[in-house]
Chains A and B, each alone.
Chain A
Amino acid sequence: AQKVTQAQTEISVVEKEDVTLDCVYETRDTTYYLFWYKQPPSGELVFLIRRNSFDEQNEISGRYSWNFQKSTSSFNFTITASQVVDSAVYFCALIRGGGFKTIFGAGTRLFVKA
């Protein structure tokens, strides 16, 4: 069975702080894909990143960075120097290789205070 766990329900930080959102996944598949999506207060789901199971290289995109570690089945997301506009719910998700069904975590609500 596949599962995605985001243990942090809510996180509150002050602007310019760094924050890490945790994501732990479970799967028996050797090929799978991991995703992060952002859901701002306006409600839409915005794609942030996709990573396949064979690529453990960390990724950095501006203030965002992702750390994928197969040894701990984790795909954590760090925002550096957080801003108020980063306030949103962030979802981690998993799809098995060749599959269609997305397994979403419960989401982490991030509040960034000015």
Chain B
Amino acid sequence: DARVTQTPRHKVTEMGQEVTMRCQPILGHNTVFWYRQTMMQGLELLAYFRNRAPLDDSGMPKDRFSAEMPDATLATLKIQPSEPRDSAVYFCASATIVWGSTDTQYFGPGTRLTVL
């Protein structure tokens, strides 16, 4: 049963610290998405990659957030420096998408981030 995995599942940190969240997409999936979920905003798309190349990161605060895919099995989302307003659940999702198609996104379990 292939699944998206995310680490850590929970992270508590202090304001100003760097936070790195990791995601392992389902093997063979070529597109990775990062979402943020908060009570106020619901689910927001932060960024997505296809074949490891960033396609759109317009949903991400550029000054402190960065997303990368060092290889096909690892996607990272970094926040530096973190702020209390970044407290949220961050989800990674993956899919197999070729141009002109829209595939189902499968979500990981999420990383619950608390910034004090």
Contact = CB atoms under 8 A, between A and B. Distances in A.
B45 A50 contact: no
B104 A43 contact: no
Question: Secondary structure at chain B's binding surface: helix, strand, loop or mixed?
Answer: strand
Interface size class of B (residues with CB under 8 A): 20 to 34
Contact of A35 (B101, B104, B109): B104
Interface residues of A, number: 22
Interface of B: 31, 33, 42-43, 45, 48, 50, 55-56, 89, 91, 93, 97, 99-102, 104-110, 112
A47 B104 contact: yes
A106 B42 contact: yes
A43 B104 CA distance: 19
A50 B104 contact: yes
Question: Secondary structure at chain A's binding surface: helix, strand, loop or mixed?
Answer: loop
Given A100-B31, A100-B48, A43 B89 contact: yes
Interface of A: 33, 35, 37, 42-47, 50, 91, 95-102, 104, 106-107
Contact of B102 (A91, A98, A104, A106): A98
A63 B63 CA distance: 47
